[in-house]
């Protein structure tokens, strides 16, 4: 179900760990809603000199974290801010449809860490304090069934047309 | 490296005798059991034998056995069949919060058709209180459906007690015994249930075949309609090869049942003791004594189960997980949540199920690999790091 690249990054994750004196830290998600990714940055002359992650989540979430750190390492902060969830998923040669939300968490964690670094520089945030993004599910009025494309109410548990369970991204 | 298979709830390897019986049918018997000529009658005889073998496993009469395409169809037939048959009597059904998806989704459909469903809470071990069942019965109640044993945590329900209440209140009682049949002894007469579902792939029979026990006189409408097969209860030409496999699997479960139970209990205890000794921060799920002997459900703190399952597969060990990420619907296991577990811990749950072919060496392999794999994932986990600091 996973591409060989996803499996490789899951089994041999790059840049696992934390940076004790990180210049920027982003924490996205929480274990209660399924996944949690922490990203730690070391920045020099506006370039990401070192990056590490810690992740609680499935194989896809770990692979996304690993690929993300590879994509971001050596990039300027502006370049890294432009890395999207889609870039990560594409670099992994695709994710199963029901795992795409894992890649959303990844880029968000990177962006949160960069924001945290910039806030610290502007002295808006104290050193050592992380940027936390809880990722609480949004309330939406309507959603479309991923299996039969019929419109359903926002928080519907199952599709009224085909009966499939409706996943709600967290 | 040999592969260790510990996911016998998903499917079991065919028993050699089952293979032999199925091969014989594939080679020799192609007739339609409904045909009155010799080819048809050879197939009909094979069905009769399988029906006797299956009935014997449950202490039922052969004519009380309806062959189906598996546990899911049996459950669908029981629930929808009774609901429809009793439509003029009432539209209330009682169940529990921790039933298999096939039960829950049938009831979801009936809710759309204006049936009222009472879903009972269970305690921390997954047990339902028979007194709560009795209290929930109204004059509109047409069916109680409660699993014999839970497929995720193994807890065995007090089915005979609940059946007694159902009988006294004249409400039809179905028990989903898919996780239990062929594993622990079941006597439908002693339990006094009206309907019982089972599946062959739980006890060394083939996938895609099962049975529904229908106590004589139970009101039930067919799920699949058409011809008069299966005593008019299940239309469609029978899956003779599969059914013969089920019959032989039932006979072998009957003959070997006692030895298998002994072995399962030994392996289960060894695994639980070994894991407890090797890995801190584990929670074992299900009732301490009223539990399936071949199943271990263990929640590993600070990590997620899909990663654990994939890394164990890498080590040549096949187990199952109940994490939301592996479920397709991305929801936490309703069974674990139903026992009061929090989402994060439920995420780290592994399901290990033994079969007749497993040995103590298989348990040793898991005990050797598991601490290593758990540590790898914990070292990656931001919540483990917090726990260590605290």
- Name every chain A residue with its beta carbon within 8 A of the beta carbon of B323: 58
A128-168 confidence digits (pLDDT tens) = 888 888 765 555 566 777 777 788 887 788 888 888 877 65
Of B105, B310, B382, the CB nearest to A10: B310
Q: How far is the C-alpha of B52 from the C-alpha of B64, rounded, in Å?
A: 10
Supply the mean pLDDT for chain A: 86
Q: Do A27 and B382 touch (CB under 8 A)?
A: yes
Residues A101, A157, single domain; the answer is no
Structural domains of chain A, count? 2
Q: What is the CATH number of the domain that holds A118?
A: 3.90.1010.10
- Spatial CA neighbour of B238 closest among B47, B64, B75: B47
Q: How far is the C-alpha of B258 from the C-alpha of B266, rounded, in Å?
A: 13
Residue A92 has pLDDT above 80, yes or no: yes
Residues A18, A76, single domain; the answer is yes
pLDDT confidence of residue A170: 34
Residue A101 has pLDDT above 90, yes or no: no
Distance from the Cα of B159 to chain A's closest Cα (Å) equals 30
Q: What are phi and psi of B357, to 5 degrees?
A: -90, -10
Residues A111, A145, single domain; the answer is no
| A162 close to B (CB below 8 A) | no
Q: Do B343 and A61 touch (CB under 8 A)?
A: no
pLDDT confidence of residue A129: 85
| B313 close to A (CB below 8 A) | no
Q: Do B307 and A58 touch (CB under 8 A)?
A: yes
- Name every chain B residue with its beta carbon within 8 A of the beta carbon of A11: 310-311, 314
pLDDT confidence of residue B297: 97
Of B323, B328, B380, the CB nearest to A62: B380
Q: Do A99 and B344 touch (CB under 8 A)?
A: no
- Name every chain B residue with its beta carbon within 8 A of the beta carbon of A13: 380
- Name every chain A residue with its beta carbon within 8 A of the beta carbon of B344: 31-32, 56
Residues A17, A31, single domain; the answer is yes
| A147 close to B (CB below 8 A) | no
Of B328, B331, B382, the CB nearest to A56: B382
Question: Token pair for residue B304?
Answer: 């997620």
Residue B365's alpha-carbon distances to B19, B278, B296, B358, in angstroms, are 28, 13, 16, 11
pLDDT confidence of residue B324: 64
- Name every chain A residue with its beta carbon within 8 A of the beta carbon of B109: 163
Question: Token pair for residue A105?
Answer: 């968490």
Give the angle subtended at the CA of A134 by the CAs of A128 and A140, to the nearest 5°: 155
Residues A96, A150, single domain; the answer is no
Distance from the Cα of A47 to chain B's closest Cα (Å) equals 25
Residue A87 has pLDDT above 70, yes or no: yes
Distance from the Cα of B285 to chain A's closest Cα (Å) equals 19
Per-residue pLDDT of chain B (390 residues; tens, 9 = 90+): 799 999 999 999 999 999 999 999 999 999 999 999 999 999 999 999 999 999 999 999 999 999 999 999 999 999 999 999 999 999 999 999 999 999 999 999 999 999 999 999 999 999 999 999 999 999 999 999 999 999 999 999 999 999 999 999 999 999 999 999 999 999 999 999 999 999 999 999 999 999 999 999 999 999 999 999 999 999 999 999 999 999 999 999 999 999 999 999 999 999 999 999 999 999 999 999 999 999 999 999 999 999 999 999 999 999 999 776 665 556 678 999 999 998 889 989 999 999 999 999 999 999 999 999 999 999 999 988 777 776
| A170 close to B (CB below 8 A) | yes
| A32 close to B (CB below 8 A) | yes
pLDDT confidence of residue B43: 97
- Just give the CATH number of B4-11+257-389: 3.90.1150.10
Residues A98, A113, single domain; the answer is yes
pLDDT confidence of residue A131: 86
Residues A41, A113, single domain; the answer is yes
Residues A144, A164, single domain; the answer is yes
Q: How far is the C-alpha of B121 from the C-alpha of B57, rounded, in Å?
A: 31
Q: How do the domains of chain B map onto residue ranges?
A: 4-11+257-389, 16-253
Structural domain including A147 reads: 137-170
- Of B26, B310, B325, B380, the catalytic one is B325
| Parallel, antiparallel or unpaired: strands B320-321 and B349-353 | antiparallel
Cα B160 to the center of its chain, rounded Å: 18
| A10 close to B (CB below 8 A) | yes
Active site residue B325: yes
Q: What would be the CATH architecture of the domain defined by B16-253?
A: 3-Layer(aba) Sandwich (3.40)
pLDDT confidence of residue B327: 59
Start-to-end CA distance of chain A, whole Å, equals 21
Residues A95, A155, single domain; the answer is no
Asked if residues B329 and A165 have their Cβ atoms less than 8 Å apart, the reply is yes
pLDDT confidence of residue B325: 62
Q: Do A56 and B311 touch (CB under 8 A)?
A: no
Residue A85 has pLDDT above 90, yes or no: no
pLDDT confidence of residue B329: 57
| B326 close to A (CB below 8 A) | yes
User: Which of A73-87, A110-124, A128-142, B309-323 bottoms out in mean pLDDT, i.e. has the lowest?
Assistant: A128-142
Q: Do A165 and B383 touch (CB under 8 A)?
A: no
Residues A150, A88, single domain; the answer is no
Full-model pTM? 0.91
Asked if residues B146 and B162 have their Cβ atoms less than 8 Å apart, the reply is yes
pLDDT confidence of residue A144: 74
**What contacts B372, CB < 8 A, 6 or more positions away?**
none
| B337 close to A (CB below 8 A) | no
| A146 close to B (CB below 8 A) | no
More confident residue, B193 or A30: B193
Asked if residues B106 and B80 have their Cβ atoms less than 8 Å apart, the reply is yes
Q: Do B304 and A163 touch (CB under 8 A)?
A: no
| Parallel, antiparallel or unpaired: strands A131-133 and A24-29 | parallel
- Name every chain A residue with its beta carbon within 8 A of the beta carbon of B304: 35, 56-58, 61
| B331 close to A (CB below 8 A) | yes
- Spatial CA neighbour of B143 closest among B73, B220, B229, B206: B220
Residues A154, A125, single domain; the answer is no
């Amino acid at each position: 179900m996973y591409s060989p690249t996803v499996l490789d990054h899951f089994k041999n994750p790059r840049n696992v760990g934390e940076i004790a004196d990180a210049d920027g830290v982003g924490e996205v998600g929480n274990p209660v809603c399924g996944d949690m990714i922490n990203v730690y940055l070391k920045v020099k002359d506006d370039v990401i000199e070192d990056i590490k992650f810690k992740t609680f989540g499935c194989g896809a979430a770990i692979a996304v974290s690993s690929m993300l750190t590879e994509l971001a390492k050596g990039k300027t902060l502006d370049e890294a801010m432009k890395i999207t969830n889609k870039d990560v998923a594409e670099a992994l040669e695709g994710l199963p449809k029901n795992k795409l939300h894992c890649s959303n968490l990844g880029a968000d964690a990177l962006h949160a860490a960069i924001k945290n670094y910039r806030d610290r520089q502007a002295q808006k945030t104290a050193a050592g304090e992380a940027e936390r993004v809880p990722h609480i599910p949004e309330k939406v009025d309507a959603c479309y069934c991923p299996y039969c494309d019929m419109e359903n109410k926002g928080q519907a548990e199952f599709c009224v047309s085909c009966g499939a369970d409706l996943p709600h991204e967290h | 490296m040999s592969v260790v298979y510990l996911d016998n709830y998903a499917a079991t390897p065919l028993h050699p005798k089952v293979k032999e019986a199925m091969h014989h049918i594939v080679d020799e018997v192609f007739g339609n059991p409904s045909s009155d000529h010799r080819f048809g009658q050879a197939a009909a005889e094979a069905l009769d034998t399988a029906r006797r073998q299956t009935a014997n496993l449950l202490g039922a009469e052969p004519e009380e056995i309806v062959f189906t395409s598996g546990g899911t169809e049996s459950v669908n037939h029981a629930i929808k069949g009774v609901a429809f048959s009793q439509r003029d009597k009432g539209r209330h059904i009682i169940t529990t919060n921790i039933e298999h998806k096939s039960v829950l989704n049938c009831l979801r459909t009936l809710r759309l058709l204006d049936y009222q469903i009472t879903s009972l809470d269970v305690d921390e071990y997954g047990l339902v209180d028979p007194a709560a069942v009795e209290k929930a019965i109204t004059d509109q109640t047409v069916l109680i459906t409660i699993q014999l044993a839970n497929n995720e945590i193994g807890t065995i329900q007090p089915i005979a007690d609940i059946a007694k209440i159902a009988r006294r209140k004249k409400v039809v009682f179905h028990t989903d015994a898919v996780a239990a049949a062929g594993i622990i002894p079941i006597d439908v007469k002693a339990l006094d249930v009206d309907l019982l579902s089972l599946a062959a792939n739980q006890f060394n029979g083939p996938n895609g075949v099962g049975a529904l026990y229908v106590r004589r006189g139970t009101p039930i409408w067919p799920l699949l309609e058409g011809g008069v097969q299966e005593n008019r209860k299940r239309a469609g030409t029978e899956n003779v090869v599969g059914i013969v496999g089920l019959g032989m699997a039932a006979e072998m479960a009957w003959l070997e049942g006692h030895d298998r139970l002994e072995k399962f209990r030994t392996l289960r205890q060894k695994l639980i003791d070994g894991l407890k000794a090797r890995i801190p921060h584990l929670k074992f799920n299900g009732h301490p004594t009223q539990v399936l002997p071949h199943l271990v459900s263990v929640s590993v703190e600070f990590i997620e189960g899909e990663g654990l399952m994939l890394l164990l597969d890498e080590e040549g060990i096949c187990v199952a997980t109940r994490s939301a990420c592996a479920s397709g619907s991305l929801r936490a296991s309703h069974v674990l949540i139903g026992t009061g577990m929090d989402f994060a811990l439920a995420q780290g749950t592994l399901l290990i199920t033994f079969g007749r072919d497993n040995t103590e060496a298989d348990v040793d392999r898991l005990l050797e690999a598991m601490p290593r794999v758990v540590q790898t994932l914990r070292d990656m986990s931001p919540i483990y790091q917090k726990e260590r600091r605290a």
